Amino acid sequence: MANLNIWISAFRLRTLPLAFSSIFMAAFLAAVNEKFDASILSLCLLTTLFLQTLSNLSNDYGDSISGVDNSDRLGPVRAVQSGKINLIQMKRAMIICSLLAFLSGIILIIYVFNGAWLQMFIFFMLGLLAIAAAVKYTVGERPYGYRGLGDVFVFIFFGIIGVFGSYYLFDTTINYVFLLPAFSCGFLSVGVLNVNNIRDMDSDRKAGKKSVPVRLGRQYAIYYHALLLMLAFLSALIFVIIMKLSFYSYTFLLVTPLYYRHFIAINSMDSSYLDPELKRLALSTLLFVILFGLGINY
């Protein structure tokens, strides 16, 4: 088996701040209603860790099989593409991550619902869908990521389910106004995917991967990116106004210069220089969530 450093690189841990942002947002929202539970937060983060790692490994596996990962691709060299991890090893790792995500999710569901069978069943099915979505992005006969549907699934799983669904685990009640912060996380997460796809659009086009930037073209993909960022801030702003929270709830607006700088970079840089913007946007999103969460709980 490949050594530990190669596997750590394949796990792509730099994607975790973005994945965890949805869970932290849900926890902050739960704290507003005094429903925060550290055990639920820990189990949600653990399950998300396994799901995100599964998604990254599956992406490596699927893109290598399809030929999307090739010498024309501008991003970091992937583990299977480089030959450091073979397809059999990667597939085994995907199975292990799937099982760990499944086990962690089951423990979470039992801890939260404890015999409420309908709720347990619904979240059990959502968990299976999350595992399937993590794999099917690039793996299988018709991977949805190659048809330009990745943005939709990212918005659903990093936004609506990631925030709104996780909030339900804390409070077991539905408050539809909490969809607005969920939308914020969803739009920003789609933004990260959009940067990734703008960077790779030339190689994706050659490989037949019809991502949103490939369909729109670079300039309209940049307009789309601006729309995603604006909708994220607008959703959070509307939430604060509707909830009639304190002045401190507007603290998240302090990160606006970071997003402005990020957009200028996306608009002006050549695709070969865009990779650092993925990390910057993911970390800026985590900071957005932390400031928003602290503000609404002050």
Asked, for residue 12, whether it belongs to a domain, the answer is no
pLDDT at residue 94 greater than cutoff 70: yes
C-alpha to C-alpha distance for 134 and 272, rounded to whole angstroms: 27
- Span 174-230, pLDDT tens digits: 999 999 999 999 999 999 999 999 998 888 888 788 899 999 999 999 999 999 999
pLDDT band at 152 (very low <50, low <70, confident <90, very high): very high
Judge whether 277 and 195 are in contact, CB under 8 Å: yes
pLDDT band at 231 (very low <50, low <70, confident <90, very high): very high
pLDDT at residue 258 greater than cutoff 70: yes
Asked, for residue 215, whether it belongs to a domain, the answer is yes
Among 63-77, 128-142, 225-239, 283-297, the minimum mean pLDDT is found in: 63-77
Predicted pLDDT at 80: 80
Predicted pLDDT at 2: 47
What rounded mean pLDDT belongs to the chain? 90
Range of the domain at 261: 17-296
Predicted pLDDT at 1: 45
Which whole number is the average pLDDT over 259-268? 94
Asked, for residue 9, whether it belongs to a domain, the answer is no
Which whole number is the average pLDDT over 109-132? 94
Which whole number is the average pLDDT over 2-16? 82
Which whole number is the average pLDDT over 272-294? 93
Domains in the chain: how many in total? Answer: 1
pLDDT at residue 71 greater than cutoff 60: no
Asked, for residue 112, whether it belongs to a domain, the answer is yes
C-alpha to C-alpha distance for 7 and 10, rounded to whole angstroms: 5
Which whole number is the average pLDDT over 16-20? 94
Asked, for residue 11, whether it belongs to a domain, the answer is no
Structure tokens at 56: 């990254």
**CA angle in degrees (0–180, nearest 5) for 187-49-221:** 25
pLDDT at residue 29 greater than cutoff 50: yes
Asked, for residue 3, whether it belongs to a domain, the answer is no
Question: What is the distance between the terminal CA atoms of the chain, rounded to a whole angstrom?
Answer: 49
Asked, for residue 110, whether it belongs to a domain, the answer is yes
C-alpha to C-alpha distance for 200 and 74, rounded to whole angstroms: 6
Output the pTM of the full model: 0.92
Predicted pLDDT at 77: 64
Asked, for residue 59, whether it belongs to a domain, the answer is yes
